[in-house]
Amino acid sequence: MSLESDIKSIVESVGLMLYDTVITSENGETIYRVSVKDPQNKGVSLDRCVEITHLISPLLDVTPPVSGEYRLEVGTPGIERKLTKLENFVNSIGENVSLTTRAKEKLKGVLKGVKEDSLYLKIDNEEVVVPFGDVVKARTYFEW
C-alpha cells in the first residue's frame, strides 16, 4: 500500500475523508500538508485535526513522505480550494467552480456532475461538458 492510501485508511477510521496530500515549501521549510473533510460537509474542528495528526505521526516516523526535515500540517481544504484530482471534483458536486482549459478558456459555474472523465457544469442555465484532461487549473469559489 502507498503512504497516501495508509493515511486515507487512518482518516476514514475516525469518520472523515482524505481530500488531498501535498508536499510544499514555504519560507525555506518543507511542509507535508494533509487535508481532510467531513463527508457530510459539517466542518472539521481543530481538535479533530490534532487527533488525526497524532494518528498519522507514528506512520510518518516509519515511512516519511520526504527525505530530510519537514513539518506535518493537518487541516481542511477550505471553502475555496484547488481541485486537482478527479476525486476532488466528485467531492465538490453542487459547488461553484471556476476552471481554465488547455485552450485558455475560463469557465465559471455550478458543478452538476462527474461521469467517467467528464465534468458537467451549469453555466447561465446551459449544461457544459468539459473533459477532465482539458482542465489545467480549477478551484471552488464562494459567492458572497
| Domain match, 58 and 91 both | no
Domain boundary among 37, 54, 75: 75
What pLDDT sits at residue 108? Answer: 97
72: cell is 506535518
Q: Are 52 and 36 in contact (CB under 8 A)?
A: yes
Give Cα 72 to chain centroid, integer Å: 16
Asked if the structure places residue 81 within a domain, the reply is no
pLDDT tens track for 83-93: 999 989 998 99
Question: Are 55 and 12 members of one domain?
Answer: yes
Q: Is the pLDDT of residue 70 over 70?
A: yes
Q: Is residue 42, in this structure, part of any structural domain at all?
A: yes
Q: How far apart are CA 107 and CA 72, in angstroms?
A: 34
- Give residue 105's domain range: 86-140
**pLDDT value for 1:** 67
Mean pLDDT of 28-46: 92
Query: Cell 458537467 identifies what position?
Result: 120
Report pLDDT digits (tens) over 39-51: 887 889 999 999 9
How many domains does the chain divide into? 2
- Give the end of a domain, one of 48, 75, 102: 75
Average pLDDT estimate for 106-133 = 96
